[in-house]
Structure 1
Amino acid sequence: MTVYILTPIAVLLGILAGYLYFSRRAAAGLGSAREQSEKILTAAENEKRRLLQEGEAKTRERLLEMKEKFEEEVRENTGELKKRERRLSAKEEVLDRKLAGLDAKEDELAKKRQEIQDREQRLQHEREENEKYRDEILGKLEQVAQLSREEAKQQLIAGIEAEAKHEAAKRIRQIEEEARESAEKRAKNIIATAISRYAGEYVTERTVTVVNLPNEEMKGRIIGREGRNIRAIEAATGVDLIIDDTPEAVVVSCFDPIRREVAAMTLQKLISDGRIHPGRIEEVVKKAEKTVAQKVREAGDQATFDLGLHGIHPEILRLVGTLQFRYSYAQNIYQHSLEVAFLCGVMANELGLNVKLAKRAGLLHDI
């Protein structure tokens, strides 16, 4: 019985004790949570104040920057506006001066226009007066001459025509005489001018060339053993070598001036070289022929250059160059052709003809 009574009591006491224990723990946890929440609230409040302070500081800085930028822009705009105002003021002053000048010019033009109108009126008045005076004079003349105006005009025209024909006939005869005299004088002047502008060289005619020797012994070396050297030279060049009693000289004879020049050049080379034999002779002759051909080309080119002629065929130029070795009537043909070409150019220029064509004809007339 006692056990049954004590058991519920014990249970109740246990329940009560557990309730008290848990109540105390809950109260202690609630106090801790309250303290924690207060700490969080305090920290949040502090962070809020800090953020607000930072935001205010940044806002102030931003506002200051915007204010400074705005003030700078205002200053720049103000300076630009002042510059524009000064430029506008200067332009206005220039325009004012120009307008003042235009006004003065307009006034001057108006005065001149008025003067011109006044002068025209005076001239018109004088013209009318002159017409009246002329009509009066003509009327008096008609009365004195007993001729009408048309009749007087016809007589005057007829007299003027007769006098003009007479003067024209006299002038024509005078012009014809002057033309004949001037034509003869002009022709003589043209020929004299052409001759005086060019002085040609006088060259004696020749068909032989003399080659000087350093000594008499050289004659024997040129002849060679049994005459083989002289025969080789004559065979290679086509000339005749005359070796006689003329001291220290060999005569080259040939009607072909090119061959004669080649032979003379060959002898001079052999004499200066000292080696004279048939093999050497053929070699020197070939070199001399090339040298003469080069001289011929250069002479042809020089002639066209001196005369200012271009576009001549190379074969014709070669023929012109060969003229420097030809002679006719005691004159070098090359110099004669240049002389004729020059004279033809001078006369063509005096007569107003084609100068280059005249020079070309004069240069090539002996080919």
Structure 2
Amino acid sequence: MPFDYFVIFLALLAGLLLGLLAGFFWFSKGKGISRALQAEIDGKEQELQQLAVQLSQKRSEIKAAEVEAKSTAKEIIAEAKLQANELESKQQKEQARLEEKEKGLDEKVKEVERQRTALQREQQDITELKLELKDAQQQHRSALEKVAKLSAEDAKTELKHELTEEFSGFFAQEVKLLKEKAKEDYEEEAKNLLAQAMQRYASEVATESTATIVQLPSDDVKGKIIGKEGRNINAFEMATGVDVIIDDTPGVIVLSGYDLARRYVAKLAMEKLVQDGRIQPARIEEIVAKMKEQVGKMMLEFGKRATEELGIAGYSQDLLKIIGRLRFRTSYGQNVLKHSVEMANLGRMIAAEIGADESVVVEGCLLHDVGKALDHEVQGTHVEIGVEICKRYKIRPEVIHCVAAHHEDIPMQSAEAFVVAAADAISGARPGARRESIEEYFRRLKELEEVAKAFPGVQRAFAISAGREVRVYVDTAQVDDLKQQQLAKDIAQRIEKELTYPGVIKVNVIRERRVEEMAK
């Protein structure tokens, strides 16, 4: 298109020049044309001729380009038609293939529908057969009940009883084998774990004495302690809360009281008074107040030492003082603070072996008996008091759960709670850890034997191994092998429910039959 405009422009320019020349010639008639003007006209004519030649060349080029463009367009059109034909052919083939598949699917759907209809008919036939079979079984059962004169439930009960009597020995042996097989997998590993923990933590085996004795330089001091009309001893007992026992034993007096902390304050105060020599009510009150303050500082120091030894930080001084108070508290003769620290070390080792949280276990062990520090002053069990103390001083909920569950007052819901309970049992049950009075010991053994004898079929029961095992002899006519297993389990459950005891108790049920005959 730009080339066409150019040609038109040249033509207009040529016409304009020709018009100018004609006009000039018209207005200059009769006048001579100068040579210069004639030369210019000649030059313009030559330019017009050259432009005409160029115009002719351009027209030729345009025609050639048109011919080439038409040829190219024909080729493109032909190629496009060829591709269109190929695509149409492919589309027709794909359409045919899809129609074939659709036809096959329709046939498959019809076949599935035929099979579904047949299956429904078969299911209906099976349901009818089941109903007929059930009716036939009911009729057959009714006929059998009429012939045997027993109902189905009675027959089941009688069959169960006969099978139990006939195969009781076999079942008992199978139960025993299954138990032994199950224990083989975990019992040895548990024993090794506990043994390693106990071996790694070897603490001294010692018990706290519950009797507090004060040595005197001479028996003459006893009179000063009593004072005129007993005023000194009465003032001392009122200030300390303990009883002072003065008898004929030379050189000693005995301080008696249920609170070891009070007895310790009384012991320090008495020793100070005896050393000072001025024993009178006012002096007694002054010395006792100083000793109470001193013991309070000692409690705080004991609490700090325990937490530092176990790597626990962040406890308030009031809580540390309560923990230190456990140093003056005993359980079955075992010092509670030493027991708690020992538990924490054992628990840490066990927790490390099984992958439990060591910090939670250590805190739970240290605080599990913290309620015993105040159980003489506050209503409730030591577990309830301990939980309240932990809540008051914002102890972590995981640790509070260990404290609340260590005697299984609530279900244990964490591995750490189980570790705390296990460490408590290990520390309390090891030889020499705890002791009790001879009367309490005999009473516990008697109760243990009475619980075992209360079951039918038991002939004799003996508590042995310091009350850690009860040996039960049963009547072979009343107790078979299967009942023997159940009896041992029932006795153990009743002991757990009704008795209080340290450690664990083994229940050993013995069933033996002896036959004697005389040779004459």
TM-score by structure 1 length?
A: 0.49
The structure with the larger Rg is: 1
